[in-house]
């Protein structure tokens, strides 16, 4: 079983913010794979299903970004899943808008949600799918930037990126991480 966690903040106020691209990728997977996210327990919304013969749990923590690890640990414990079977999808300021990068283990890169998961799971050996949201304009605080919505022209690009990110997760599940990385590398180098 694999747990696919999209990071974001709960509530309508945050729904379309840059920080919530992880939630949106999980929503995209839910829709395309017909896995309803209909359960609310363990400080998360989640759905259970199969993608390419792989049992999966799609998760959107309800703990707010900085405490995401609480929900992830509870879900992982409930389904007896180790950190190596997690795929965490999150926004990344250091990637240009629309870029995707797969990363195996590593530090948190300053991302509070990833840091919370590392602390809660007792290690960093989980897979990350980073979704580029770009750097804030000069003079804009990064904290304010990630909690703002995309401009109209950027929203069109990010919608396309969300589809590509969902497809990348599907490739990871069906063909493995290396195949997903190779698919992304056809455009740009993606693995750290």
Label the pairing between strands 39-41 and 2-6: unpaired
Q: Is 19 a catalytic residue?
A: yes
Short-list 94, 95, 97, CA closest to 150: 97
Distance between CA atoms of 178 and 63, rounded to whole angstroms? 32
Distance between CA atoms of 20 and 7, rounded to whole angstroms? 6
Label residue 47 left, alpha or beta by phi (over 0 means left) and psi (-120 to 50 means alpha): beta
Short-list 103, 131, 126, 139, CA closest to 19: 131
- Burial category of 105 from C-beta neighbours within 10 Å (exposed 0-12, middle 13-18, buried 19 and up): middle
Distance between CA atoms of 16 and 8, rounded to whole angstroms? 10
Query: Position of tokens 């990871």?
Result: 172
Q: Which of 13, 19, 52, 111 is catalytic?
A: 19
Short-list 68, 36, 56, CA closest to 170: 56
Catalytic residues: 19
């Amino acid at each position: 079983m694999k747990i696919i966690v999209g990071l974001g903040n709960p509530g309508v106020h945050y729904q379309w913010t840059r920080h919530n691209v992880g939630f949106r990728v999980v929503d995209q997977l839910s829709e395309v794979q017909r896995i309803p996210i209909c359960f609310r327990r363990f400080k998360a919304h989640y759905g259970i299903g199969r993608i390419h013969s792989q049992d999966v749990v799609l998760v959107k923590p309800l703990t707010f970004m900085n405490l995401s690890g609480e929900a992830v640990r509870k879900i992982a414990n409930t389904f007896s899943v180790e950190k190596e079977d997690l795929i965490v999808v999150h926004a990344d300021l250091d990637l240009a808008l629309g870029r995707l990068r797969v990363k195996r283990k590593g530090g948190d890169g300053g991302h509070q949600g990833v840091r919370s998961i590392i602390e809660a799971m007792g290690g960093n050996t989980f897979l990350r799918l980073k979704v580029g949201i770009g750097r804030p304009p000069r003079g804009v605080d990064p904290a304010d930037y990630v909690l703002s919505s995309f401009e109209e022209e950027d929203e069109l690009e990010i919608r396309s990126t969300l589809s590509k990110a969902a497809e990348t997760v599907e490739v990871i599940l069906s063909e493995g991480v290396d195949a997903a990385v190779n698919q992304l590398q056809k455009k740009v180098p993606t693995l750290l």
